[in-house]
Structure 1
Amino acid sequence: MRKGVKSETVKSQVQLEKAKSGKLAGPSFQDLILELQKFWADRDCVLQQPYDVEVGAGTMHPETFLRVLGPEPYRVAYVQPSRRPADGRYGENPNRLYKHLQLQVILKPPPADIQNLYLQSIQAIGIQLSEHDIRFEEDNWESPTLGAWGIGWQVLLDGLEITQFTYFQQCGGIDLDPVSVELTYGLDRIAAYLQNVDNVFDLRWSRDRRYGEVRLAEEQQFSAYSFDYANAEITRKLFDLHEREANALLEAFGQASEEEKRRFPVLAAYDQCLKCSHLFNVLDSRGVISVTERATLIGRVRQVACRIAKAYLAQHELASAPPQEKQAEAGA
């Protein structure tokens, strides 16, 4: 199952009519984001920024993939542009996008009233619970490339999936203790519902700009690149190079002294892993990989991701412990 809110259908005609009958106010796209950010900031979430490397889902941001590891409590919220090359349609389809926007929330450990908090969050953006059918349908999640899985639900608003609600059980092949809860809001979908539009490019982005004015050219050009122009041979070589760099860094980490490990660029290795994941998606969109090769490439990315998770935890444990010199002084 693919992570996150699916981008295939923003709204069916039946769901559109339900939205219109609900008489929703329809905040602008950026006001929708600001309201959700404020809601979670008021509940002690760090407001992080989108990660500046291509990712296929908000889960791949280090603030999720790495922060859910280890025992330390953490709360974070951020918007993440998520690239899915195979979903691009040159900006000609009203509902399918090369890049869609998610708002990601991680709460570690999960609060006891998390479901109520979530419902309050959608009320904050103008969805009146008494006027709509809100359902939590079982929809467990797995990410083969991240070595991660969780149990959870898709949240349906009048039959339309708007959020993925997941309790992470494992990440990078490591069992999580405590588990974290992840909320992934499909911003494009929610905004289309609230504004009663059936074409995402007609969304009001701000008071005087439409979604299409802001993002249509990007959709057209990156769809063309992913389907028509990306050189398969070069893309494969780039995949190999980024994989090689990630593995070289991880080998160096294993051989480093404890002091060197404290500030070793494990995060840089993770960037290389993310590059591999994106390049795999580009190859997939070009239709140049077989079923067998697809499984092999996914396995290669997963192997690197799992090694990074272990290195991150090892580094984190060292960083949490006092330097050896201070330990010796304390024992003297």
Structure 2
Amino acid sequence: MNTLQKPSARRLIQLLRSQGPVSRLKLADLLDVQPSTVTRIVNQLLDDGLVVEEADPNRAGRRGYPSKLLQLRPMGLLSAGVFIDPERYYTCIVNALGEVLSEETSSITDRGFSQLMELIGASVDRQTRQLGLQPDRFIGCGISYPGQHTSKPGIVRQTQYFSEWPEIDASKDFAPYFDMPVHQLNDAKCACLAELLFGSCRSVRNFNYVWLSHGIGGAAVIDQSLYLGKSASAAEFGGLFPKSQPRPSGSDLLATIKEAGLAADNLEHISKADLQHESILNWVDRVEQQLKWLSLVITRTMSPDAIVLGGRLPDAIFSELIERLSASKSLGEDHFGPHPTFIRAEADKKPHLGAAALPLYLTTSPNAG
């Protein structure tokens, strides 16, 4: 894997991920380098088993030398992913294309750190063995859960969702439970990586991600690279909505449901009938205005190509919000320019895929690390 330490090889991998199968000549054009440079990089990646080169099916039967297309080799890179929310944990094994080879989920009965990590580590190990793989085939395991880093590098502060946990040193505390390198970012940042690598934003250069789950999170991508800022806290949009006030969050939605006397006690149990209740319709109206304001702030400060909405809220709510925001002629007073494209996230229904995207991003993206 030494080839992937070279920025030029990472740029090539990034292009194959965003463009799909591409010829060597096209890669030279996209990278603005000589064809001989592409040949040298490609030969190294072929030797490492990271890419494959096959005949272009669109040229079958034509005269002349058949064009060949390069693409990522699915099993060339493997990653594990762990997502933990207040009620369940999810684990998976994925390949270089983001295809889920195996996955498990289980409810959480004991939120103690050691007890929970033992179960999660066993889940990843079990799936690895069932697939006939060895841990050394993996570039790493990504872990995501709600939370933010402190001012100390790598230290994750305690959250209300996991109050039983101590402050976590991500570089040390997870390692004993996994037989591979471990990386950690919060749920919103990892969800954003899933869209960047495998989902709706593979070819979008600049975008912001708004993550609406039990809480509110976010992420920013600039020139196809995740921008973390100081203490990995860039684009943490939840801080713009005080917890003492109504918020566009899943916890706020559940509180509204409870106040209305409806039965749903978690986000997965919200029914179609619940969504038609007057209190929920009013909640959506209010959240539309909150997200319009947030979108104006994002547009004024970042001017992204797109704003992505994703998370654990019901699909019907996301669809309605995307439709309303997209139809808005203006995001606010004195806003006259075109607003970003509003996009529904594609990968958020498998939040563990976002966690698995983290090691792949760190290993293959030109500006990661």
Same fold (TM over 0.5): no
TM range (shorter): under 0.3
**TM-score scaled by structure 2?**
0.24
**TM-score scaled by structure 1?**
0.26
Instruction: Name the structure with the higher helix share.
Output: 1
